[in-house]
Amino acid sequence: MASPQSNGHPSIPSHHAPKPSSSPSARSLATAAIHGDDPLNSTTDVAPALHVSTTFRYPHDPTLLSPTDDLDIPARGPRDPTPADSHIYSRLTAPNTSRLELMLGEILGAPCLTYTSGLAAFHALLVHINPKVVAIGAGYHGCHGVLDIYRKLTNCRVVDLFDESTWQNDGEAWSLGKGDVVHLETPVNPSGLAYNISHYASLAHARGAFLTVDATFGPPPLQDPFKHGADYVMHSGTKYFGGHSDMLCGVLAVGMREEGWEGRYWGLYGERVFLGSVMGSLEGWLGVRSLRTLELRVGRQSGNAGRVVGWLDGCLNPKDGSEDSKIVKEVVQKVEHASLQKDDMSWLKEQMPNGFGPVFSVWMQTPEFAKRLPSKLELFHHATSLGGVESLIEWRRMSDQGVDERLCRVSVGVENWEDLRDDLMRAFRGLMEDGGGK
Ligand SMILES: Cc1ncc(COP(=O)(O)O)c(C=O)c1O
């Protein structure tokens, strides 16, 4: 029989439990992704077990029963493991999601909470900060939808991130200031272009506002927004953290730069209990499975995207007039991707030292070409979303009413890049052969 722990729960023999790391933040991403959850690897399984229970037994010993309120702060630090015997009800914590959050904390270098989706995470962030003014630019239209709901409830003002003159109105005597939000998405959906995080951090902090960064398109190891002044970082974990197009997930990481971050973390934790937007256990399990290969996948996807974009750019700006280049120019008007932001490289190379995002956009010469390009491709699924191991292309008008009809968004997977290039070239040729694009 297992020996009882102090709380009356049975434990597994200690010689089977991996030792918790003494200095987790010193580990590289590759190691953290394999060992970040070791402190919760409390059974002899090598692959994590999937726990489906929504409710967990209290200690058997009545002397150990200590009644709690849902909002009591747990007896652990924000980045500490949630002990296996401390779960009560899965809307508060559950084994698989706790394990995922522990790993994410090490990978993002800040305590993390997970949510049912990226949009649920953004909603939780707005509810928590409760800003009166939000500066936001173009970017994922769904985040604007969340902000519309928040504005309906609070009458907050929404101003243009890219035009600081809109951040105040002297006549009406309001301005973006302390406790407000400057929200930056970089690289941005759908183009894949990047913005300077340090610049927006300075603007926000000069006014006492928070800089929140949606880093979905630039997951680790590509960028660390906290290094450049972000106060909160959010991700749609559905994309690169999941990486296999099979889980919805949102992540909020709370920056530790300013005093009071622990209170902000526990505030978000407590509010999530009542928003109810916690991930299911299967998603928590999938998340851990997926993070194991995060660095491998993202590195490969980023490299592939850089090569495909470089090839397309070479065709659009050829040194000689090759046949391929003539065809590409007939059907493609321009390509957008951070790797082509030549004038921004002084800050961009610092912000994204390990490569640019795996998403880029192709502006076709006509809406008809853009609508038909996906049907000509064999290796790219025509589907929305991004970040999975499989390459996707989307005629973006399918899911975003606000975009130019010539835009196709490409999410590059882990296939061989030359095969992807050849598939694109075949498709461009096919469009030309069909004619009638203009
Ligand atoms: C940049 C960005 N942020 C947030 C989201 C929302 O994420 P989710 O679909 O997980 O709610 C998306 C989804 O495409 C996105 O591209």
What does the domain layout of the chain look like in residue ranges?
A: 84-291, 294-433
Which atom in ligand 1 lies closest to the alpha carbon of residue 238? Answer: 10
117 pocket-lining for ligand 1 (C-beta < 6 Å): yes
Local confidence pLDDT in tens for the 438 residues of the chain:
233 333 444 344 444 444 544 455 579 999 999 999 999 998 899 999 999 999 999 999 999 998 988 888 998 999 999 999 999 999 999 999 999 999 999 999 999 999 999 999 999 999 999 999 999 998 999 999 999 999 999 999 999 999 999 999 988 899 999 999 999 999 999 999 999 999 999 999 999 999 999 999 999 999 999 999 999 999 999 999 999 999 999 999 999 988 899 999 999 999 999 999 999 999 999 999 999 999 999 999 999 999 999 999 999 998 877 889 999 999 999 999 999 999 999 999 999 999 999 999 999 999 999 999 999 999 999 999 999 999 999 999 999 998 999 999 999 999 999 999 999 999 999 999 998 555
Which atom in ligand 1 lies closest to the alpha carbon of residue 185? Answer: 1
Given this model, what pLDDT does residue 375 score?
98
Indicate the fold that domain 294-433 takes in CATH.
Answer: Aspartate Aminotransferase, domain 1 (3.90.1150)
Question: What's the 398 CA to ligand 1 centre distance in angstroms?
Answer: 16
B/e letters for 362-382, b = 16+ CB within 10 Å, e = fewer, are bbbbbebbbbbbbebbebbbe
Given this model, what pLDDT does residue 71 score?
82
Tell whether domain 84-291 is in CATH 3.40.50.920. no
Cβ–Cβ under 8 Å, residues 205 and 181: no
Which atom in ligand 1 lies closest to the alpha carbon of residue 248? Answer: 10
119 pocket-lining for ligand 1 (C-beta < 6 Å): yes
252 pocket-lining for ligand 1 (C-beta < 6 Å): no
Shortest-distance Cα residue to atom 10 of ligand 1: 118
Extended beta strands in 337-431, E state: 359-364, 381-382, 392-395, 407-411
Q: Do domains 84-291 and 294-433 have the same CATH topology?
A: no
The backbone torsions φ and ψ at residue 284, rounded to the nearest 5 degrees and listed phi first, read: -60, -40
Token output for 229: 């002044």
The C-alpha atoms of residue 18 and residue 217 are separated, in whole angstroms, by 34
Given this model, what pLDDT does residue 13 score?
42
> Three-state DSSP class for 212?
strand
Given this model, what pLDDT does residue 26 score?
78
The C-alpha atoms of residue 255 and residue 67 are separated, in whole angstroms, by 31
Residue 183 pairs in a beta bridge with 136, 212
Given this model, what pLDDT does residue 68 score?
85
State the sign of the Cα–Cα–Cα–Cα dihedral 136, 142, 145, 146. negative
From residue 371, how far is each of 13, 316, 434, 438 by CA, in Å?
60, 20, 13, 12
140 pocket-lining for ligand 1 (C-beta < 6 Å): yes
83 pocket-lining for ligand 1 (C-beta < 6 Å): no
Which atom in ligand 1 lies closest to the alpha carbon of residue 122? Answer: 4
Cα angle 232-238-242, degrees, rounded to a multiple of 5 = 105
Residue 317: which of 327, 329, 307 has the closest Cα? 329
